């Protein structure tokens, strides 16, 4: 089992680096390529990939230090992936000599003895590396970046945004495996009937205070998507921050709603649920692949009042419809979801924030033109950066006097920054969910 899991992990890490894709996508592709179906192998490979990817800056630093005269980038993708996995297991987890020897034998079986011979001395140096001693020589920001597994520029950013003490809590917590939440789908059955069916599938739940249909999964006997209650559409796997955004929008039965950037369907299906399938939802997204998933979930959850349209929201909307409610959850840097998608933090730069804010600005302006008088615009991201959130809303309000901020209810987060007390922020270390921002604006032209 170890050899198959490591072969899968090496292939997935190689694809992440080569194609700049997420861990989930890479593992899916590698699983199909290697034709591995054993759940235990898949589970071990998933953990190896996620935890190694999470610590990429530290593993790369230790490897380059141990290589001495060469650099990690000098080697092929497969060997680079193996070195990162080996470093995670030995230097960081401190697996010991016996574990290191077993991993080395596994590496030879997968990559060949000639390939491993290139780094035999490096493997020994890595095994006996004392990480704490190595990091003592670094500056505070560099040391914290390596200890919490974040880019140094992002550590500096968090220091400025939150202050050092709060930033350290956020950075540390962002490496913990996040809680899993589900949203009960009352379009299928009453709450108690849904809970009974889910519990019979071996799931233990805890109700989230202040949210209508959101529960934290405290125990599950098997993967949620494999359960009959999931296939029946009785629940949707959805972070509580995302559930909050739909409840802040507060759509009513009979409304005309535009769900911008709708795929893969979390918002659309919850908006429809709150509307009791009465009214109209126009769901917009640019991705054909993601909209295929949207269609599958719409069918599974019994959503009947949503209609899809492929469009680029930086250019135009394929309708002249004025909506009572427009919900915009645009692409973002996802700085609030590093615990779930750690590879994302290594693709970001300081410039990424401003580039993303420009796209969000274009989408926000376009979507605002489709809000009817006395209608609402709800804006949310899973990013913690102020440029993508408060600064964007602040700039928008300056240029659009017909919009005013209103209270975002229910309140489960903390107030927004820059005096935006009506908006909300959620942080992993405070709220045990994705980092998130949500604001609600009312349009009144008279």
Radius of gyration over every alpha carbon of the chain, rounded to an integer in angstroms: 24
Going by C-alpha positions, the residue among 252, 265, 255 that lies closest to residue 303 is 265
How far apart (Å, rounded) are the C-alpha atoms in residues 97 and 123?
Answer: 11
Give the per-residue pLDDT at 331: 95
Give the per-residue pLDDT at 330: 96
- What is the dotted CATH code of the domain comprising 240-443? 3.40.50.150
Tell me the catalytic residues.
Answer: 382
Q: How far is CA 434 from CA 175, 183, 320, 335, 413, in A?
A: 12, 15, 34, 9, 11
pLDDT digits (tens, 9 = 90+) for 311-326: 888 877 666 789 999 9
> In the chain, where are the structural domains located?
2-135, 140-173, 180-237, 240-443
Work out the angle between the directed axes of helices 152-162 and 140-148 (0-180°, nearest 10): 100
Percent of the chain with pLDDT over 90: 91
pLDDT digits (tens, 9 = 90+) for 239-264: 999 999 999 999 999 999 999 999 99
Give the per-residue pLDDT at 2: 84
pTM: 0.94
Domain 180-237 grouped into CATH 3.90.1300.10: no
Q: Are strands 235-237 and 280-285 parallel, antiparallel or unpaired?
A: unpaired
Give the per-residue pLDDT at 335: 97
Give the per-residue pLDDT at 321: 82
For residues 423 and 439, the answer to whether their CB atoms sit within 8 Å is: yes
Instruction: Collect the ranges in the chain with pLDDT lower than 70.
Output: 317-319
Sole residue written with tokens 């198959």: 4
Beta strands across the sheet bearing 235-237: 203-207, 214-220, 180-184, 235-237
Give the per-residue pLDDT at 317: 65
Q: Which bin fits 233, alpha (ψ -120 to 50), beta or left (φ > 0)?
A: left
How far apart (Å, rounded) are the C-alpha atoms in residues 65 and 70?
Answer: 9
Phi/psi at 87 (5° precision): -65, -40
- What is the dotted CATH code of the domain comprising 2-135? 1.10.940.10
CB atoms inside a 10 Å sphere around CB 139? 9
């Amino acid at each position: 089992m170890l050899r198959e899991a490591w072969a899968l992990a090496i292939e997935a890490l190689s694809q992440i680096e080569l194609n700049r894709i997420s861990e989930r996508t890479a593992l899916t592709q590698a699983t199909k390529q290697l034709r591995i179906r054993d759940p235990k192998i898949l589970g071990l490979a998933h953990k190896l990939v996620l935890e190694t990817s999470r610590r990429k800056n530290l593993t790369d630093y230790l490897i380059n230090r141990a290589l001495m005269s060469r650099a990690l980038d000098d080697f092929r993708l497969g060997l680079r992936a193996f070195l990162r996995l080996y470093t995670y297991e030995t230097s960081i987890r401190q697996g010991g000599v016996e574990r290191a020897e077993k991993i080395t034998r596994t590496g030879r079986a997968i990559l060949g003895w000639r390939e491993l011979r290139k780094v035999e001395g490096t493997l020994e140096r890595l095994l006996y590396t004392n990480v704490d001693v190595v990091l003592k020589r670094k500056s505070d920001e560099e040391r914290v970046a390596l200890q919490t597994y974040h880019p140094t520029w992002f550590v500096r950013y968090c220091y400025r945004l939150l202050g050092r003490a709060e930033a350290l809590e956020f950075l540390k917590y962002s490496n913990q495996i996040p809680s899993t939440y589900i949203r009960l789908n009352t379009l299928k059955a009453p709450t108690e009937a849904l809970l009974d069916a889910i519990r019979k599938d071996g799931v233990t739940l805890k109700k989230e205070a202040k949210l209508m249909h959101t529960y934290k999964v405290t125990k599950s006997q098997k993967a949620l998507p494999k359960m009959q209650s999931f296939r029946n559409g009785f629940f949707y796997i959805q972070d509580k921050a995302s559930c909050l955004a739909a409840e802040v929008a507060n759509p009513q039965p009979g409304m005309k709603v535009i769900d911008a950037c709708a795929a893969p369907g979390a918002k659309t299906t919850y908006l429809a649920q709150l509307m009791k399938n009465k009214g109209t939802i126009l769901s917009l997204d640019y991705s054909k692949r993601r909209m295929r998933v949207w269609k599958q979930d719409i069918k599974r959850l019994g959503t009947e009042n949503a209609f899809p349209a492929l469009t680029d929201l930086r250019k135009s909307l394929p309708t002249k419809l004025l909506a009572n409610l427009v919900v915009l959850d645009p692409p973002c840097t996802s700085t609030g979801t590093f615990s779930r998608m750690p590879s994302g933090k290594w693709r970001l730069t300081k410039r990424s924030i401003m580039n993303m804010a420009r796209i969000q600005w274009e989408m926000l302006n376009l979507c605002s033109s489709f809000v009817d008088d006395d209608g609402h615009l709800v804006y949310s991201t899973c990013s913690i950066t102020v440029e993508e959130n408060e600064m964007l809303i602040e700039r928008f309000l300056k240029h659009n006097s017909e919009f005013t901020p209103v209270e975002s209810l229910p309140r489960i987060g903390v107030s927004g920054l820059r005096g935006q007390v009506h908006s909300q922020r959620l942080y992993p270390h405070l709220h045990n969910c994705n980092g998130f921002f949500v604001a609600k604006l009312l349009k009144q032209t008279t």
